[in-house]
Amino acid sequence: MEPIRETLKRVVNAPAFSERYNDMRKEVLAHPGVQKFREDHADEIDDSTIDRGLGKLYEYIDQSHDCNKCPSVDACINHLKGFEPNLVLERGTIGISYTKCRLKEAADNKRHASSLIHSMYMPKEVMQATLDKFDADESRMEALMAVGEFLDQVTGPGSLPEKGLYLYGQFGIGKSYLLSAAANELAELNVKTVLVFVPEFMREMKQAIGDQTLQEKVDYVKKADVLMLDDIGAEAMSSWTRDEVLGTILHYRMAEKLPTFMSSNFSYSELEHHLTYSQRGEKEDLKAARVMERIRALTKPVKLEGLNRRN
C-alpha cells in the first residue's frame, strides 16, 4: 500500500490540482481586503506565510464584508451570522477574528430601543410609529413641533425636561400615534418610556385589588422615566381610580419632576368636568380640581386637529 504522504504528494503535484490551487491563490491575492492586509503587514508577511495561510485567506474572501452580500442579519451568509471577518496576524500565522457587522449593530440597537418601551394595552401597529411618517399638515404642525422641542432638550435619561405634553383633539386624528412615535425617539436616546392605554389600565387596577398586585403596578407606572397616558377621559372614572390611582401617580411625578405625556379627546376644562362626576353621579369639584392641578403642572396643552384617519 502506498504511504499516505506519497499519495498526498502525488495529488498535490497533479496538473489539475496545481491549476486549481494557482487559480485560488490569484483570486485570494486580488481581493482588496487581502491586498490591504498585506500592505499593513508588509514587513511580516512573505510568500511562505501566504501559502500557509491560504485556507484562512480564502475563508475571508468567501464571506460578506460590510454587509455587501447580505440583505439582512437573518440572511447573513457568514460563518458567524451577523459578524464579519477580519484578517489578523498572530506569531507569523494568518488568522481570522470576527466583529459585529453594521446590520447586526442596527438590529441590536433596535432591539435594545424596543426593550426601553413598555407598552400596556397599546395597539401593536401604533407601537411601530415614527415621526417621519406622521402626516404633519398645517393643522397638525404645532403638535409635531412641540414634540420636537421636547426631544431636542433630551440627551439621555438624566436630561429630561420636567413638563410633557397634553395632546387633545377629536377621535382618530393621530394622538396615540404621535405619543408612540415620541416614545420610539426617546428609546433611541436610551430613555425608558411606559406607554399606558388608560381605560384598560383602570379596569386592571380594579382587578389588581383582588390579586394584591395593585401597589406594584401603580409603583411601576408612576416611577417611569417618561410616562405616557393615552386616551385619558375615555375611561369610566370612579372616585377611587381618580383619587387613589390617577391622583397618586400624578402626585408622585409632580413631586419628582418626571415628564408626563397625555392624550385625550377632552380639553383641560372638559376633562375637569369629566373628573368631577363619579360613576354614581356624585359631584366632587374639589377632588377633580386637585387632579387637574397636577395635570396642568405636568403638561403643556397642545391641540391636535385634522381629519379622522381611522375612517
Handedness of CA 67, 70, 75, 81 (dihedral sign): negative
* Integer Cα distance of 36 and 11 in angstroms: 32
Q: Are residues 96 and 133 in the same domain?
A: no
- Region of residue 306 (phi > 0: left; psi between -120 and 50: alpha; otherwise: beta): left
Longest Cα–Cα distance in the chain: 105
Q: Are residues 74 and 134 in the same domain?
A: no
Residue 9 resides in a domain: no
Predicted confidence (pLDDT) per residue in 30-84, tens digit:
999 989 999 999 899 998 998 898 889 889 989 989 898 888 888 899 888 989 9
Average pLDDT over residues 218-230: 93
Confidence of residue 18 (pLDDT cuts 50, 70, 90): confident
Confidence check: pLDDT of 175 > 90: yes
Strand partners, 86: 97
- Region of residue 10 (phi > 0: left; psi between -120 and 50: alpha; otherwise: beta): alpha
Confirm if 80 and 63 have CB atoms less than 8 A apart: no
Q: Are residues 197 and 254 in the same domain?
A: yes
Which of these three, 68, 103, 138, is where a domain ends?
103
Q: Which of 288, 267, 268, 266 is nearest to 276 (CA)?
A: 288
Residue 128's pLDDT is 83
Close Cβ partners of 82 (under 8 Å, ≥ 6 residues apart): 73, 76, 100, 101, 103, 104, 107
Confidence of residue 3 (pLDDT cuts 50, 70, 90): low
Q: Are residues 222 and 298 in the same domain?
A: yes
The CA–CA distances, whole Å, from 73 to 46, 62, 105, 112, 197 equal 36, 17, 10, 16, 33
Neighbours of 46 (CB within 10 A): 10
Confidence check: pLDDT of 263 > 90: yes
Q: Are residues 142 and 270 in the same domain?
A: yes
Confidence of residue 237 (pLDDT cuts 50, 70, 90): confident
Residue 108 resides in a domain: no
CATH number at residue 141: 3.40.50.300
Predicted confidence (pLDDT) per residue in 78-137, tens digit:
888 989 999 999 988 999 999 989 888 877 766 665 565 687 777 777 778 899 889 888
Residue 8's pLDDT is 46
Q: Are residues 181 and 124 in the same domain?
A: yes
Q: Are residues 50 and 137 in the same domain?
A: no
Q: Are residues 61 and 164 in the same domain?
A: no
Q: What is the dihedral of CA 246, 249, 252, 255, to 10 degrees?
A: -60
Residue 262 resides in a domain: yes
**Apex 157 CA angle, 151 and 160, nearest 5:** 45
Confirm if 272 and 168 have CB atoms less than 8 A apart: no
**Which residue range forms the structural domain that includes residue 216?**
116-303
Confidence of residue 14 (pLDDT cuts 50, 70, 90): low
Q: What is the pLDDT of the chain when averaged over all its residues?
A: 86
Which amino acid does the sequence have at 221? V
Residue 11's pLDDT is 46
Confidence check: pLDDT of 159 > 80: yes
Share of the chain above pLDDT 70, in %: 90
Confidence of residue 211 (pLDDT cuts 50, 70, 90): confident
* Integer Cα distance of 23 and 28 in angstroms: 9
State the number of CA atoms in the 13 A half-sphere of 221 facing the CB. 26
* Integer Cα distance of 228 and 196 in angstroms: 6
Q: Are residues 80 and 229 in the same domain?
A: no
Number of domains in the chain: 2
Confidence check: pLDDT of 276 > 70: yes
Residue 111 resides in a domain: no
Residue 17's pLDDT is 62
Confidence check: pLDDT of 9 > 70: no
Confidence of residue 1 (pLDDT cuts 50, 70, 90): very low
Residue that has been written with the C-alpha cell 419632576 in this structure: 257
The CA–CA distances, whole Å, from 15 to 10, 11, 51 equal 10, 9, 18
